[in-house]
Structure 1
Amino acid sequence: MTSLLSRLCLCLFVLRIFVTVIQGEFVDLPPNGSMRSLAEEETVLPCHYQPSGNDVVVQVTWYKEKSDGTKEQIILAHHINGQTAFGPWSRRVRFRSSEPTVDSSLVIMSTEVSDEGKYICHISTFPSGNFENEMSLIVWTIPISSLEPVILVEGQSYRQAASCRSIARPSPRISWDTDLNGQSINRSSDNGAVSSHYSLHPLRSMNGKKLDCLVWHVTSPTPRRLRNRLVVHFPPHVEVSSNNKDWSVGLENAALSCVSGGNPKPQSFTWIRKDSELPEGVIPHPNGTLIFGRPLSLSDRGIYKCVAKNEVGEANAEMEIVVTDSSERQIFPENMLMLIVGGVAGGLLILMLIIVITVTCHHKRKNTKLEKELTEKKEEISTLSRQASFRRVNSISTDTRGATEENIPLRVEGTLRTSLSSLGQETRFHPPLTPSPFPTIQSTEIVRQLNGSVIIPTDGGSRPGSVTKNHQHPPMSCTYPPVTDDEDEVDEGLGGPASQEHPDDQDSETNSSQVSEAHSTRYQQTNGMFRPKPRPSPSGISPHASLIHKAQIV
């Protein structure tokens, strides 16, 4: 039994191969058995059958399958009797080839959306019989779009500014191309229609801005652009201008212009003169210009007001016109020239005063500075001169070891005279006082006070390295009156002014004569040298004691 079934299957398989070889086939079929077409365009449904062997195509018939499953005959072509179209298809369809039995493709001349569906190509051959090929037709439509702008008014609340609609198969997509700050709402329906509404808050600055609607669909690689500009109405704004800056009596062709903006543009202009009527001979024009048709006069003065109106509101602006007389106009520049010249002269005078005061103050400051520096230098030179004089006095040797009684007083007096003359001070010498009968011990501090801080040692050891020897001299009190410094002088050795004449030179000469007289009473000249006259020595005093006259320097 199993072998019988195997043999039967093998026979059927061979028979099928044999039938396939001798049977014809459909060529140039659409992929996946489906086609797409656009509405209102020509659509071609391909059907090309190639018979095999001795088969002959006798008849070709096209059918459309309805929604209820029945078939609607469209067109028929017989190889002898010709072709026939049925019903409403007779004016809409035809065969692509003049020999339908060879190329049976069907042409729908103007495709409609209702043409979408399944189509059947039926081929009748002899002697093989009938053959069929099915295909589906999808009909697309190009989007039908529209844009409806909305006129807005400044100050209105948030509302719709534009509406865009489109319908197509399949359904399109809508977007907006704009820089405005708003929001869109999209809606769609089952029949392929979509709509979008763009809403915003209207402002004056938005007027004329771009608000384009873009429609996207599979039938086009780029979107379709519906161009639109936003319209926002707002009240006008007005400015008044003049064609002349100087309004004077007798001026001709004077005019005022009322420049206005707004959306829509104002269509009505009204001119008013405050506190009075418009002068005679003044003509207002519809474009907002006020023309003075005669020469100006003083009566044309006043404040002129322009009022502009549009559909939204109105606005006004004012301008004051001052008409001057020609005589006043000539006097005014002359007065102005005088004022300008006077102002310039006053400014120059003030500038010169400021310069003089500044230079004077500068020189005063400079002189003060120089005087201060000169005073400091003078004090410094005076200090140096006094120090030099003190050093000169101290440089005189007070060593009395090799001196005799007769030479010591002369040496001391000569030293004092030389020192005082170098200082250039007023000096008055008095005769030395008589020695005190009582011994007096003077300390180094007392000697320093008497000699102006110059210590004259009594032991003769004023120089470093000298051998100190104690000589007992009889104490004696010899005091000269103090020497006063009327003015500090600089030593000649330091280049100071000590060599110049001094008002007290006459007093110095008198003092010198008095000193000479005192010396003549005390001393005698022997062999060109002054020696003390012999006199009795008081008791208690050594005859070899030295008599030293000390002068106090202040």
Structure 2
Amino acid sequence: MPGRNPLKTSNHSRGIKKVGIFGERLVGMAMAMSTSFWIFLVAVNVPGARAQSVQMDSSKSGFVGSQVELRCLFVNSNPPVKISQVTWQKFVNGTKQNVATVNPSLGVSVLQPFKDRVSFKQQAVRNRTPSLEDTTIVFNNLRLSDEAAYICEYTTFPLGNRENMVNLTVYAQPVTRMFLSTPTIIARPQKRKMTVATCLSANGKPPSVITWETRVKGEATFQETRNANGTVTVRSTYALVPSRETHRQKLTCIVSYRNEKITNSVILNVQYEPEVKIEGFDGNWYLNRKEVQLTCNASANPPITMYQWKLLNGSMPSTVEIRNNTLFFKGPVTYDLAGTYVCDATNSIGTRSGLVEVNVTEYPNFLPSEDRSIVQPSSGAAIGGAVGGGLLLLVAGALLFVFLRRRQRFKGDYSTKKHVFGNGYSKAGGLPAHPPMPKNLQYPEDSDDEKKPGPASGPARFESSDPDFDGEADDMKRPYFTVDEGESQEYDERTYRYEPGAEPADDMVSQNDGSVISKKEWYV
């Protein structure tokens, strides 16, 4: 039409078109809201719909070859909710594998490889019109490959699917055993360490822990091997230095698996060369002793097969009788029995020797119990000599005691005795020690000057008013003089002073050297 603006017309049509598209969107949103609202209303109106759930255990476990139940219950299944199907699935590494399915109209179906080992526990599930609130399944003859997560899924109307999950763990009881590492354990002189026993815990899941108990000092080693089926084999060995002391010792291996302990033990059988010891010589083999013998005792494994005796640097005495490991000496002991006796003991491992040095004495060191009633003549003489020597020692000791006692009682010093007679220059054939003296001699009294004490610095000396008086010369002219006139000598607590011109008193005794001592001291 003339006068119309074509641009406006075009804009109007475009506006109508935009309104149409927007309206379509509004309609779609309204429909979606109405559907959600309808579902909400159904959920609100259906009793117990919001409480419906699938109940299962969080985890279950069992041993290989055993039986285990996986529980699955549908809770609050009230009308109008309808269970249309229940499916069990194995969930491994992000993938699902159907195990069993039950349908109200089609029945029960168990798939491979579970067909012969999985079944529904409730008899009602297998009916033509089943009750599906309890769909627990039972695993028989459990395998390691059965370990996984299992899903129990309920398909319902109108609420849709409900599901839950359980983790199944499969354990493997290990096979344990203990054995000797070598059938023959031989103790060598080199004393090298060797493995004697092995403890094994095979194909266990989870792995075991091995420990050792024994009195024998040794060293244990451990090794774990993971198998393709998920089990673990643990091996432990025990090494020691075989010896005679380790023979017949107990070695125990303890395998700890989960909450139990498995114990195995062996007794070590160590073979070793003989250890030889000769018994019978007591160090008291004397002449004429009877019934003596030597025995060769040997410890060995296996037992001794042969004994051999010999005498070093000589031949066996003619009086010896050899009986296996014993030497019997017939008759009394003689010097011919002395020497070094050697015993060689042999078993299948080797030969070892023992020796003893036998000495024969004339007299016994002591009497053995079997000879205490027999005393030889030579023995009696020896005993008598010993007694006589003992008495002689006692007499000598008594005399020595008396001498020392007398010497102790005289406490003077003989070197300081007064020389009463003689001038100290006597010659052979000279005058006697002193002339005979009459008894009861009269002595003049000392003058007052003689009684005066001498200077404090030295012994008293005689003073003379005569200027020509020479004391030393006068002393030389005296027929009798003392060594130190006026000097005193103490004996015990007594002091004897010799006065010039005096003679020995009655209680004094002259000595050969010109000195005098009291009779009391002389006769002590």
User: Normalising by structure 1, what TM-score?
Assistant: 0.53
In 2, Cα distance between equivalents of 1:157 and 1:116: 48
Would you say 1:44 and 2:78 are equivalent positions? no
- For the 8 Å contact 2:309–2:343, the answer to whether it is kept is yes
Aligned to 1:339: 382
Residue number among 228, 235, 238 corresponding to 1:195 in the alignment: 235
From the superposition, tell whether residues 170 and 152 of structure 1 become closer, same or farther in structure 2 (CA, over 3 Å).
farther
Superposed, 1:20-59 pairs within 5 Å as 21-22=48-49, 25-31=52-58, 34-50=59-75, 51-55=77-81, 57=83
Aligned to 1:235: 273
Residue number among 167, 177, 185 corresponding to 1:146 in the alignment: 177
1:171 maps to amino acid: P
CA RMSD of aligned residues (A): 5.6
In 1, Cα distance between equivalents of 2:308 and 2:344: 6
Shift of residue 10, structure 1, vs aligned partner: 6.7
- For the 8 Å contact 2:99–2:114, the answer to whether it is kept is no
From the superposition, tell whether residues 314 and 82 of structure 1 become closer, same or farther in structure 2 (CA, over 3 Å).
farther
Would you say 1:11 and 2:45 are equivalent positions? no
- 1:395-434 alpha-carbon deviations (Å, 9 max, x no partner): xxxxxxxxxxxxxxxxxxxxxxxxx92129xxxxxxxxxx
Aligned to 1:115: 146
- For the 8 Å contact 1:46–1:106, the answer to whether it is kept is yes
Shift of residue 258, structure 1, vs aligned partner: 4.0
In 2, Cα distance between equivalents of 1:202 and 1:364: 76
From the superposition, tell whether residues 314 and 59 of structure 1 become closer, same or farther in structure 2 (CA, over 3 Å).
farther
- For the 8 Å contact 1:161–1:200, the answer to whether it is kept is yes
- For the 8 Å contact 2:56–2:165, the answer to whether it is kept is no
Shift of residue 317, structure 1, vs aligned partner: 3.2
In 2, Cα distance between equivalents of 1:2 and 1:199: 87
Would you say 1:186 and 2:222 are equivalent positions? yes
In 2, Cα distance between equivalents of 1:177 and 1:25: 58
Q: Which is higher, the Rg of structure 1 or of structure 2?
A: 1
Aligned partner of residue 157 in structure 1, secondary structure: coil
Shift of residue 22, structure 1, vs aligned partner: 2.7
Aligned partner of residue 78 in structure 2, secondary structure: coil
Aligned to 1:309: 346
Which consecutive unaligned segments of at least 5 residues does structure 2 have?
1-24, 126-131, 362-370, 421-442, 448-461, 468-476, 488-494, 505-524
Q: How many residues align?
A: 390
Residue number among 421, 439, 448 corresponding to 2:444 in the alignment: 421
Residue number among 192, 198, 209 corresponding to 1:163 in the alignment: 198
In 1, Cα distance between equivalents of 2:360 and 2:445: 98
- For the 8 Å contact 1:249–1:296, the answer to whether it is kept is no
In 2, Cα distance between equivalents of 1:278 and 1:78: 110
From the superposition, tell whether residues 297 and 449 of structure 1 become closer, same or farther in structure 2 (CA, over 3 Å).
closer
- For the 8 Å contact 1:240–1:257, the answer to whether it is kept is yes
2:201 maps to amino acid: S
1:421 maps to amino acid: P
In 2, Cα distance between equivalents of 1:268 and 1:343: 51
In 2, Cα distance between equivalents of 1:347 and 1:208: 58
- For the 8 Å contact 1:422–1:498, the answer to whether it is kept is no
Shift of residue 335, structure 1, vs aligned partner: 1.5
In 1, Cα distance between equivalents of 2:417 and 2:332: 80
Aligned partner of residue 124 in structure 2, secondary structure: coil
- For the 8 Å contact 1:177–1:212, the answer to whether it is kept is yes
In 2, Cα distance between equivalents of 1:17 and 1:162: 71
In 2, Cα distance between equivalents of 1:228 and 1:194: 19
Aligned to 1:450: 465
Aligned partner of residue 358 in structure 1, secondary structure: helix
Higher helix share: 1
In 2, Cα distance between equivalents of 1:242 and 1:139: 70
- For the 8 Å contact 2:147–2:169, the answer to whether it is kept is yes
Aligned partner of residue 261 in structure 1, secondary structure: strand
Which consecutive unaligned segments of at least 5 residues does structure 1 have?
380-419, 425-446, 453-481, 505-554
Aligned partner of residue 405 in structure 2, secondary structure: helix
In 2, Cα distance between equivalents of 1:281 and 1:498: 93
From the superposition, tell whether residues 78 and 139 of structure 1 become closer, same or farther in structure 2 (CA, over 3 Å).
same
In 2, Cα distance between equivalents of 1:61 and 1:44: 16
User: Normalising by structure 2, what TM-score?
Assistant: 0.56
- For the 8 Å contact 1:240–1:256, the answer to whether it is kept is yes
- For the 8 Å contact 1:166–1:215, the answer to whether it is kept is yes
In 1, Cα distance between equivalents of 2:73 and 2:252: 49
Identity of aligned residues (%): 21
From the superposition, tell whether residues 336 and 255 of structure 1 become closer, same or farther in structure 2 (CA, over 3 Å).
closer
Aligned partner of residue 380 in structure 2, secondary structure: helix
Q: Which moved more, 1:348-357 or 1:122-131?
A: 122-131
Superposed, 1:385-424 pairs within 5 Å as 421-423=444-446
- 1:262-312 alpha-carbon deviations (Å, 9 max, x no partner): 3x242423344654699999654xxxx6597xx955799978764433343
Aligned partner of residue 395 in structure 2, secondary structure: helix
Aligned partner of residue 348 in structure 1, secondary structure: helix
From the superposition, tell whether residues 319 and 120 of structure 1 become closer, same or farther in structure 2 (CA, over 3 Å).
same
Would you say 1:359 and 2:390 are equivalent positions? no
